[in-house]
Chain A
Amino acid sequence: MKVRYWRIDYLSTRAFPGQPSSVVYLSGCPFSCFYCSGGGEVRDAEAGQLAERLIQGAELVDALVVGGCEPLVQESAIELLTSLAGRGMKLKVCTSGFVPELLERTIELNLVDAVELYLRAPLETEMYARVTGRREAVDRVFHTLNLLSSFDGVLQVSALLAPPIFTQEYLRELSQVLRRMGFDRLDAVHWWDAGHIPATSESREMVRTGGYQGEVV
């Protein structure tokens, strides 16, 4: 099965917690977030071949990450993850939470050591739909959060740290929602910055001083 991808970064110090890693960015995100500039030219490869390429290129790293805005929108992502699993490398998948069915399969098959969930907006239907362009998005994200509450690997949640998305209320609500969902064992809240909509120093300071776990990257 073919996998469509944008690029491979052979070195990342952030993609997998605590390990040098390589990242492949898969294309096909169902969202059209207003702040996202897309990933560039799309290429394709057989899942098995791409997996071999990643494994062979990973001599100096300890982990592989299958990323992109939503890699699991491609069925072939499971084949890629299956080919990468059990090869002596730690493995992580990133998700926007839009495809809980494939994430569930990934977890059932015990393919990955870590999952990272990218949250796009406050977890409220109207706002999530306005940011992502998909009305059903927030329900799917909640479904994903439910799934992840029983995942026993490394779990990361990333949230956008940029105006106008980021507010004090957003921070408070997100924190409450995550605690309610049982994410007291969350490894890191991974606040990110959309590049062309940079985080303000105030928003960074709020995270730093608000007693929230995680770090601003």
Chain B
Amino acid sequence: MGEAANRVHIVKASGEIEVFNPNMVTSDCQDAGIDFWTAVEVAQEVSKRIKDGASTREIQQETLRVLYAMNPEAAERYKRYHSMYVRTSRNTIEAFDRKKIVESLILETSLPREIAENIAREAEAELRRLKLEFISAPLIREVVNVKLLEHGFEEARASYTRLGMPVYDASLLVEGASQDAEEVHRAMAANVLKEFVLLKVLPLSLADAHMKGDLHIHAIEAFATKASSCVHDLRYYLLSGIRGRKAAVPPPGDALDALLLAVNLLRYGMGSFSTSQCLDYINVFLAPYLRGLSDAEMSRIARLLLRQISQLGASCDLWVEYGVPRFMSSMEAVLPGGEMDGTTYGEFEEEASSFALAIARAYASGDHLGTPFSSPRLCFRLRDEHWDRHGYSTFLQLAHQAAAAGAEHLFASPRGNELQAGTYTLPADTAVSAAMLQVVTVNLPRIAYQSGGSDRRLFELLEDRVRLALEALMLKKEVIERRVAAKVLPLLDDSYTSTPILLGVGYVGLNEMLMAHLGAELHREEALGFARRVLRQMYSLVTQEGEASRRFVLVQQLDENPHRRLARLDHGIFAHRVAVSAERRGGEVRYTPASWVSEDAELPLAKRLEIEGEFHRLCHGGAVSVIPLREQVPDPVPLMKLSRRIAADTQLRFWKYIREVGR
């Protein structure tokens, strides 16, 4: 070809510029079934005619003109062949080119070129048969995927398929009145990531177990990207500041700085934790920054703290307790400016109590319009040692005033020497922080349906399912460790080796499992003994894995309502059995969460909490009991008395009140 042609540049549909190569014209003609010599002749003529900056479309039009002049029949063949255009995923319209299918198959799957070319040829034939002028890139993929499946290349299909969501679902999301733009974006992204995890990250056995409903992998959309939740040790950041990727926050010098650091910590943490974050002992760790502040100033700091966190749009827990817990009073305090001079937290008892009171009061007042805060959730730890402290009753009354008005406050009571970090129960001598990498919940009723009444089979299946859950957790641990090594998880990158790491096995529907297997509910004596065997077996299987700093734990995880999803799936397979065991409320089938006693059981509260509290002891990853209040406006004073009784007279670790008016 001539030198002049080599200097001509063309602009492709994608916007890329490249030197014109006449062989492209030859190849395009041959693809359309034109003989080699005619094709060469056409290419030479086109080379002479095109100008610098011509588009690929102009080149095709010029080729067609040359062909019409030389051989009208060949021109018609060329026109038919190249009249199929593709709307590409790069938002361009380009002429269909089979070679692109071949190249993408080789790049994205492990298929050899010969097979890729064969698949591409068959897909092209299928597409041309449809006689469409425009086809989309997703349509091409769908057709290619069908061809891959026809030839038995299932693995290649899983790699080559597109991720996304049906237009109908997307329309519902976008047009749904309740969704703001950010939620729409998040939901769509979550959908794609979930498909990605199921197709590419999880082995088929685990993906199937989740989809079929043997297990529920919580926050599955974040399985490949984030850990689940975290209890931060604020002291670490008060001492060293936060080293963000774009900017660093220095150790705070005063109360306002410290408050902003806490809020920033949660904001950075959103990049690492998918489900929730928690600041425990917040009033204790901020106490040194509050010395000398008036009550009004302290109230302002409390209000600001709640308002700032409420704006984050993330699930956050703030734990407060009245003053400095005894085990923490001799701990060296981090002081303003990140100083440590031997002063202990015990010396800030007054500030810690006053700030706890200020937080409870600010929460009970709601935001500046008086609207209750939906986030953060406030969590109150009740200890025997607090009971005689001046102001404790007021503190508790404020907490229960908000709970009675509908706030989902969490209440906790540590038992013995155990250390609580958020809702995690840790060995007494560890840090007050921990990260839960992942929770996988086991569907207990299904095990009962599948065991056909045989105890032996039930325990075999239970072991299989727990081991499957552990396999998923091991995989998650590897995923997170790779991401920590790549330094793409803010906060977790620096603290991964020093923070206690938890991996949680959850469970759902113990009550329905017992009904299906024994015909008796959890609160019946004959079923309770069997329930203990089931949970002890799970506890033993779960806790024998891991090591001191990387612990596998049992957990009662309630996010995402696995008790609904798994009951619905079971209903599709074991309808005749689910009908008798699952609770039907408001037209939906659902299981009783974890080891809760059925809401319908007419059981004294003390007995209900005694049964549930027994299982809390085994769930070091967290367990919360819910106490329904069936009055329109519950009275906070009796509620406060009840909480004190629960703390003193039961084994319950965590509880909250919910209003269920009309039941």
Q: Which of A27-35, A52-60, A119-127, A173-181 contacts B (4 or more CB under 8 A)?
A: A52-60
Binary B-proximity of A8-32 (CB < 8 A = 1, otherwise 0): 1111111010111110000000000
Please give, as numbers and ranges, the residues of chain B lying within 8 Å of A193 by CB-CB distance: 632
User: B125 at interface (Cβ–Cβ under 8 A)?
Assistant: no
Q: Which of A9, A11, A18 contacts B637 (CB 8 A)?
A: A18
Interface residues in B606-663 (C-beta closer than 8 Å to A): 606-609, 627, 629-639, 641-642, 645-646, 649-650, 662
A13-B639, A21-B638 in contact; A195/B602 too (CB < 8 A)? no
Q: Which of A7, A13, A18, A58 contacts B631 (CB 8 A)?
A: A13
Please give, as numbers and ranges, the residues of chain A lying within 8 Å of B641 by CB-CB distance: 19-20, 62
Contact assessment for B638 and A60 in the assembled complex, using a CB-CB cutoff below 8 Å: no
A10-B603, A11-B605, A11-B629 in contact; A60/B637 too (CB < 8 A)? no
Contact assessment for A13 and B606 in the assembled complex, using a CB-CB cutoff below 8 Å: no
Contact assessment for A11 and B404 in the assembled complex, using a CB-CB cutoff below 8 Å: no
Instruction: Identify the 6 closest CB pairs spanning chains A and B, nearest first.
Output: A57-B604, A59-B606, A13-B638, A20-B638, A13-B635, A20-B642
User: A61 at interface (Cβ–Cβ under 8 A)?
Assistant: yes
Please give, as numbers and ranges, the residues of chain B lying within 8 Å of A18 by CB-CB distance: 635, 637-638
Contact size range, B: 20 to 34
Please give, as numbers and ranges, the residues of chain B lying within 8 Å of A216 by CB-CB distance: 633
Please give, as numbers and ranges, the residues of chain B lying within 8 Å of A59 by CB-CB distance: 604-606, 645, 649
Given A57-B603, A195-B662, list of 18 further CB < 8 A pairs?
A11-B605, A11-B629, A12-B630, A12-B638, A13-B404, A13-B629, A13-B631, A13-B635, A13-B637, A13-B638, A20-B642, A22-B604, A57-B607, A59-B606, A60-B605, A60-B645, A61-B642, A217-B632
The CA of A17 and the CA of B629, in the complex, are separated in Å by: 16
Please give, as numbers and ranges, the residues of chain A lying within 8 Å of B649 by CB-CB distance: 59-60
Identity of the chain A residue whose Cβ is nearest the Cβ of B639 in the assembled complex = A13
The CA of A21 and the CA of B608, in the complex, are separated in Å by: 16
Binary B-proximity of A104-139 (CB < 8 A = 1, otherwise 0): 000000000000000000000000000000000000
Please give, as numbers and ranges, the residues of chain A lying within 8 Å of B608 by CB-CB distance: 10
The CA of A13 and the CA of B641, in the complex, are separated in Å by: 10
Contact assessment for B630 and A9 in the assembled complex, using a CB-CB cutoff below 8 Å: yes
Contact assessment for A7 and B609 in the assembled complex, using a CB-CB cutoff below 8 Å: no
The CA of A195 and the CA of B663, in the complex, are separated in Å by: 12
Query: What are 28 A-to-B residue pairs whose CB atoms are below 8 Å?
Result: A7-B602, A9-B630, A11-B629, A12-B630, A12-B631, A12-B638, A13-B635, A13-B636, A13-B638, A14-B634, A14-B638, A16-B638, A18-B635, A18-B637, A18-B638, A20-B639, A20-B645, A22-B604, A57-B603, A59-B605, A59-B645, A60-B606, A60-B609, A60-B645, A60-B646, A60-B649, A60-B650, A217-B631
Q: Which of B607, B627, B633, B650 contacts A11 (CB 8 A)?
A: B627
Please give, as numbers and ranges, the residues of chain A lying within 8 Å of B637 by CB-CB distance: 13, 18
The CA of A98 and the CA of B4, in the complex, are separated in Å by: 113
Please give, as numbers and ranges, the residues of chain B lying within 8 Å of A14 by CB-CB distance: 631, 633-635, 638
Identity of the chain A residue whose Cβ is nearest the Cβ of B646 in the assembled complex = A60
Please give, as numbers and ranges, the residues of chain B lying within 8 Å of A13 by CB-CB distance: 404, 629, 631, 634-639, 642
Contact assessment for B602 and A8 in the assembled complex, using a CB-CB cutoff below 8 Å: yes
Interface residues in B372-408 (C-beta closer than 8 Å to A): 404
The CA of A179 and the CA of B629, in the complex, are separated in Å by: 34
Please give, as numbers and ranges, the residues of chain B lying within 8 Å of A62 by CB-CB distance: 641
Say how far B251's CB is from chain A's closest CB, in angstroms. 45
Please give, as numbers and ranges, the residues of chain A lying within 8 Å of B629 by CB-CB distance: 11, 13
Say how far A105's CB is from chain B's closest CB, in angstroms. 29
A57-B604, A57-B607, A195-B662 in contact; A11/B635 too (CB < 8 A)? no
Interface residues in B571-603 (C-beta closer than 8 Å to A): 602-603
Please give, as numbers and ranges, the residues of chain A lying within 8 Å of B650 by CB-CB distance: 60
A20-B642, A21-B638, A62-B641 in contact; A10/B632 too (CB < 8 A)? no
Identity of the chain A residue whose Cβ is nearest the Cβ of B634 in the assembled complex = A13
The CA of A13 and the CA of B632, in the complex, are separated in Å by: 10
The CA of A21 and the CA of B638, in the complex, are separated in Å by: 8
The CA of A216 and the CA of B633, in the complex, are separated in Å by: 9
The CA of A8 and the CA of B602, in the complex, are separated in Å by: 8
Task: Name the residue in B605, B607, B633 with the highest tally of chain A Cβ atoms < 10 Å from its Cβ.
Answer: B605
Identity of the chain B residue whose Cβ is nearest the Cβ of A215 in the assembled complex = B633
The CA of A216 and the CA of B638, in the complex, are separated in Å by: 17
Say how far B643's CB is from chain A's closest CB, in angstroms. 9
Please give, as numbers and ranges, the residues of chain B lying within 8 Å of A56 by CB-CB distance: 604
Identity of the chain B residue whose Cβ is nearest the Cβ of A53 in the assembled complex = B604
Identity of the chain A residue whose Cβ is nearest the Cβ of B400 in the assembled complex = A13
Contact assessment for B605 and A10 in the assembled complex, using a CB-CB cutoff below 8 Å: yes
Identity of the chain B residue whose Cβ is nearest the Cβ of A59 in the assembled complex = B606
The CA of A22 and the CA of B604, in the complex, are separated in Å by: 9
Please give, as numbers and ranges, the residues of chain A lying within 8 Å of B635 by CB-CB distance: 13-14, 18
The CA of A10 and the CA of B602, in the complex, are separated in Å by: 8
Please give, as numbers and ranges, the residues of chain A lying within 8 Å of B631 by CB-CB distance: 12-14, 217
Please give, as numbers and ranges, the residues of chain A lying within 8 Å of B606 by CB-CB distance: 57-60
The CA of A216 and the CA of B627, in the complex, are separated in Å by: 23
The CA of A39 and the CA of B627, in the complex, are separated in Å by: 23
Interface residues in A59-101 (C-beta closer than 8 Å to B): 59-62
Please give, as numbers and ranges, the residues of chain B lying within 8 Å of A21 by CB-CB distance: 638
Q: Which of B602, B642, B662 contacts A60 (CB 8 A)?
A: B642
Interface residues in A168-217 (C-beta closer than 8 Å to B): 193, 195, 216-217
Contact assessment for A10 and B638 in the assembled complex, using a CB-CB cutoff below 8 Å: no
